[in-house]
Amino acid sequence: MPVSWTLVVPVRHPERGKSRLGAGAAVARAIATDTLVAAAPCAARLLLVTDADDWTAGLPGEVLLQRGAGLGAAVEEGVAAAGAGPVAVLLGDLPGLRTADLAAALAGAEAHPLARVPDHEGTGTTLITALRGTEHRPAFGAGSNARHAAAGYVELALPASSTLRRDVDTAADLAALAAEGLLGAATRAVLAT
């Protein structure tokens, strides 16, 4: 029987998030939207953790307002709210994410108490999973892939082409996804205007 995952997605308010992108709040919101829409079919429960909810209308999932500041607090509070069952944490900056790629990763994660997916550069992490949410030891931020590996998260065997690896931190990342035709509908629409 497949595992029923609670999926925690931390996203800063679009006016404060993705500052390195230099593209404005509309693009930041669209990136989060495409991530959430692609992720929703994979989750028994989808939990969006954010520092303000005045931008979340119409998005899938539940909204949890974080109390602490920063990504670390958002992840920890989301994991705590998710409970003791299977919990995955997915970063909200994957505008090219395909549902099938996330589903494949979560299916693979069923074989490991703790698992992770590195980003396309191999230094960051886009997804961590725990079959028991209380065993999570999140360590997102610069160099997180090495920290998650040291904490016991097994790297999932996904192809380099998996859209789950294609997080967007810079304008170059976004341009590369656009050039490959991988952007989700919301991001494509905003960039077209």
Q: Do 171 and 34 touch, CB atoms closer than 8 A?
A: no
Amino acid 3: pLDDT? 83
The per-residue pLDDT for range 75-133, each reduced to its tens digit, is 999 999 999 999 999 999 999 999 999 999 999 999 999 999 999 999 999 999 999 99
What is the reported pLDDT for 107?
Answer: 96
Task: Kindly tell me if the per-residue pLDDT of 139 is higher than 80.
Answer: yes
- The 10 Å CB-count burial string (b at 16+, else e) for 145-178 is bebbeebebbebebeeebbbbbbbeeeebbeebe
Residue 160 pLDDT more than 90? no
Amino acid 18: pLDDT: 59
Determine the pLDDT at residue 25: 87
Share of the chain above pLDDT 70, in %: 96
Model pLDDT, residue 177: 94
Residues 172-192 pLDDT 10s: 999 999 999 999 999 999 998
pLDDT tens for 3-28 read 899 999 999 988 876 556 667 889 99
- For residue 163, the model assigns a pLDDT of 97
Question: Across residues 157-182, what is the average pLDDT?
Answer: 92
Residue written as token pair 């990342």: 173
pTM attached to this predicted model:
0.95
CA angle in degrees (0–180, nearest 5) for 97-16-47: 50
pLDDT single digits (tens) 31-55: 999 999 999 999 999 999 999 989 9
| Strand-pair partners of 65 | 50
Among residues 149, 145, 152, 127, the alpha carbon closest in space to that of 9 is found at 127
HEC sequence for the chain: CCCCCEEEEECCCCCCCCHHHCCCHHHHHHHHHHHHHHHHHHCCEEEEEECCCCCCCCCCCEEEECCCCHHHHHHHHHHHHHCCCCEEEECCCCCCCCHHHHHHHHHHHCCCCEEEEECCCCCCEEEEEECCHHHCCCCCCCCHHHHHHHCCCEECCCCCCCHHHCCCCCHHHHHHHHHCCCCCHHHHHHHHC
pLDDT of residue 19: 57
Residue-range domains of the chain with CATH: 6-192 (3.90.550.10)
Q: What is the pLDDT of residue 22?
A: 63
